[in-house]
A and B are shown apart, each in its own frame.
Chain A
């Protein structure tokens, strides 16, 4: 492996980027497409007081759910926490702040952050007091919209099927989900991948996330949790 861009590295080497009180964005949907080794690394390092941004809080022992159920997060921005009862309990007990965002709007807020836009206009959830809370309204062509702010994070962690040495990524089936969006929105983006291949190996037409957005690539040991359906 030539590693001409210095992006291919190890889990140990990227652990310096994780610290108490940070904002961390993660790819995945119900744990599918979440990076197992990085999540375990964060657990083992003992990082606390995280602000987590992602689609959902996984399951108690799956994906980002591990960090949530072990009380490593003080805040979560997500669309759904129902599959992780610990998240609901911690929220109820006042130990976890949860900001709910409608799923597609959350995805667009992350995308906006990833493509350098400050906010988007949305008409989703205008009937819901929780969604509209503290958000400014913008009038456009005689219609009212909510201003939904963009989301970025100090570090984004994603899971992909393959990366080349530049960090170009392709994903596996429905494990793509929020990963291409999350990959763009981190100040630093770390991709955990099932396979690292030399430059020129991936079909340029098949690449979903250009390596421009990816700072580091590490090789995954693979999913180490038991799925709910197993």
Chain B
């Protein structure tokens, strides 16, 4: 089941609510890259890229690309006022030193204690961890934005990850096309539902037990 652009943007829009002025934010590829489209112009954020950009701006218009100004995925970006370049060691120094406030990542699996498995499917893709381990372990807040189930329909939110971990107990918030969960000391807490879906649907499609907040916020589509 592929996801429409609207669904992806709905998830990105919800993730954007977590971003506030003054933050340093690192975005993963895919849905996380849509998040800046949902920020108000009053929210002043420094977007960080692993390849050494602080203050990354939107993609340039066609014909204005600079081959030496690209994001970590290799695609052209721009630099905002106050932005700067640094080498890869400094860039990751910012992450490990706790100066990156928030990272928004995709994932293959997340456990109910916030374990993240997003870098390898044994016997299938072998992409390497890239910068995901540092970001997952050291960013102050980690948000996962992902499909609720994989392409075979298996839950991606599970009681224990079966895939190799990127980092354990690192995820703070999970946003899927069905619901939003906070990772707490007692496990997952469902806080929000996307309007067309029922709690029953979420329970059926989730691979672990979770608590439900007294007042669940319904997010309209």
> Which residue numbers of A lie inside 8 Å of B, CB to CB?
29-33, 55-56, 59, 78-83, 88, 91-92, 98, 100, 102-105, 107-108, 110-111, 123-125, 127-131, 161, 171-181, 208, 223, 227-229
- Please give the number of chain B residues whose Cβ is less than 8 angstroms from any Cβ of chain A in the complex: 45
In the complex, per-residue mask of B64-97: 1 if CB is within 8 Å of any chain A CB, else 0: 0111111111111001000001111101110110
Does B151 sit at the interface, judged by CB under 8 A?
no
Q: Is the CB of A103 within 8 A of B167?
A: no
Does B147 sit at the interface, judged by CB under 8 A?
no
Q: Is the CB of B134 within 8 A of A103?
A: yes
Does B128 sit at the interface, judged by CB under 8 A?
yes
CA gap between A198 and B2 in the complex, in Å: 57
Given contacts A79-B130, A104-B89, A104-B93, 19 further A-B contacts (CB under 8 A): A32-B74, A55-B88, A56-B128, A56-B130, A79-B128, A80-B127, A82-B128, A92-B126, A98-B126, A104-B96, A107-B91, A110-B89, A123-B137, A127-B167, A131-B129, A174-B69, A181-B88, A223-B67, A229-B74
- Across-interface contacts of B70 in A (CB, < 8 A): 30, 32, 174, 229
- Across-interface contacts of A181 in B (CB, < 8 A): 87-89
CA gap between A179 and B23 in the complex, in Å: 28
> Which residue numbers of B lie inside 8 Å of A, CB to CB?
49-53, 65-76, 79, 85-89, 91-93, 95-96, 120, 125-131, 133-134, 137-138, 164-168
Contacts across chains A and B counted by CB atoms under 8 Å: 147
20 A-B pairs in the complex with CB atoms less than 8 angstroms apart: A29-B74, A81-B126, A82-B125, A82-B127, A103-B92, A104-B92, A107-B88, A123-B137, A129-B164, A173-B69, A173-B85, A174-B49, A174-B53, A174-B85, A175-B68, A176-B85, A177-B51, A177-B52, A180-B87, A229-B76
